[in-house]
Chain A
Amino acid sequence: MDAQTPVLELEGVSKSFGPVQALSEVDFRVHPGEVVALVGDNGAGKSTLVKTIAGIHEADEGRILFEGNEVKITHPTDAVHLGIATVYQDLALCDNLDVVENLFLGREEGTLALDETSMEKQAGELLGRLAVTIVDMRAEVGTLSGGQRQQVAIARSLLGDPKVVVLDEPTAALGVRQTAMVLNLIKRLREEGHGVVVISHNLADVFEVADRIFVLRLGRESGDLAAGETSQEEVVAAITGATGGREGGR
């Protein structure tokens, strides 16, 4: 993995809101085909980090490298054009539109004559490839279960063929079976070679899918642990600051 260039790399990124230092000199990277879990307590800076990647906030200091080249991400569209797709916990879908309409929202085919047949066909192929089972592609998204909605939201982010997919709390508020469906989908993203960043509060989920666990505490990196070589206790300690963490997982 070390031989490979990270698809996305942040170097010494800092961000403050007035007197509040939300991020201090954070180094963060994701490789292709790698799932990085971003964990930390409330206010640790997870959301700020994700929003910096997604272009909602601009970093005050530090560099962002995409596939080894330095880039500026100052607007959400910059991130999208680079190939960074962000799936937010909510606010992602229009409940009054059906599955196909949501998948192609903002990138419809045929401006003056929508090509529904083609879009539905592609939507079916995409969901099939991701092993997402949805009985009726024309069902309103509002009628789907929470897990199915989350799967649709994640699937939608893949239509632009992104290099990096950022998932904000994809399993929050989901039942056991639905969580399993979403985690399986995340594994598929890894198999397809996407770099995946997952914010999660649920350490069981984190250990199930993540290759690496990146811990933030009070805006600073407090641990970068290889999932296979660490324990839940160690991660909790890094989150709470009980041990002061361990510098650099690798």
Chain B
Amino acid sequence: MEYTEIMVRYGELSTKGKNRKDFIGKLAGNVTKVLRKFPQVEIHPRHDRMHIVLNGAPFTEIDQRLKKVFGIQTYSPTIKVEKTLEAIEETSLALMKETFKKGMTFKVNTKRSDHHFAYDTNELNALVGDYLFENMSDLKVEMKHPDLVLRIEVRQDAIYISNQLLHGAGGMPVGTGGRAVMMLSGGIDSPVASYLALKRGVDIEMVHFFSPPYTTEKALNKAKELTGILANYAGRINFIAVPFAEIQETIKEKVPEGYLMTVQRRFMLRLADEIRAKRNELAIFNGESVGQVASQTLESMMAINDVTTTPVVRPVATMDKTEIIRLAEDIGTFDLSIKPFEDCCTIFAPPRPKTKPKVDKAREYEARLDVDGLIERALAGIEVTAIYPDDKFLADKAEEDAALL
């Protein structure tokens, strides 16, 4: 079945009244971004729906990408036909034959905006229904909760037929929720938190700390590749790599072991906040989950959060690990997240970190360090990379080499 266009129904943004125009504009921009590999596709955002005219582009590939655009509630692949009864019948039958499975129920649902068309909605429902019954067996009609709804829309220019209602990602178009930094480690939780931030329309930039030679380039590339997976939901995400080794070495040298972790985290949050301020962003997101590890007890959060008044949003704060893992599997980050490369959270991890650090102590130990100088040098070393959907950073040679096999 070659679909000619996709009809997209908006999600929550329909309810947002006067901001509607902005929302639709952002969504159209995001759809354009994810479909940029198909230049023939036309995107027509309208106030009630968006029409994506395929012009021969393959629906299955577009479908894969569209599924991941936030702000879409449902969408239907549609076929445009000329305004004759024969065309309607022929296409309806072909569509039904492709999607109908024995035991399903269906109904025909016609809408007509061209009131000059030869048949009205009731007539069309009956005619098409009869035609299908004549040409297919095992059909069963059900008005209230049918498995399939064959939608026929009679418009001025043509007639549009569809019978599938596919679920979009829901949520809000990325960008409508403002911009923020996301602290991305490379573990399981922070990619899930990133996904949830994007889902609420927040346009994020990744901040990732790396500590060569303590951490390998692979750990850095892993975080970048995770960003590539998440970029499917955003179109593009900036990845900001912050060198962290000097800070860690200095802390290790001068801070008592029990507070190594707390002080390190305070530095990370400070750096994230500095980057946020410089880039005119409104919040810091991270993947902390209450009580999961020593740095994520409420006492630790208190002692760490002490360095800023910027909102720190923790999307997975109250989720169980199993819930986080399930979501990570759904969004496709899990397998990559569990690859065992040392990251800067695990090196210099004290054997017995304080689970109930005190704010005063943390401040006191930190006073021994040249905080401003350390922060300044780290910021001077940041590298920003723009990452697009499914960009690969780990398997650079592997794919090429596999061609030898």
Chains A and B are bound partners: no
Name B residues whose Cβ lies closer than 8 Å to a Cβ of A. none
Name A residues whose Cβ lies closer than 8 Å to a Cβ of B. none
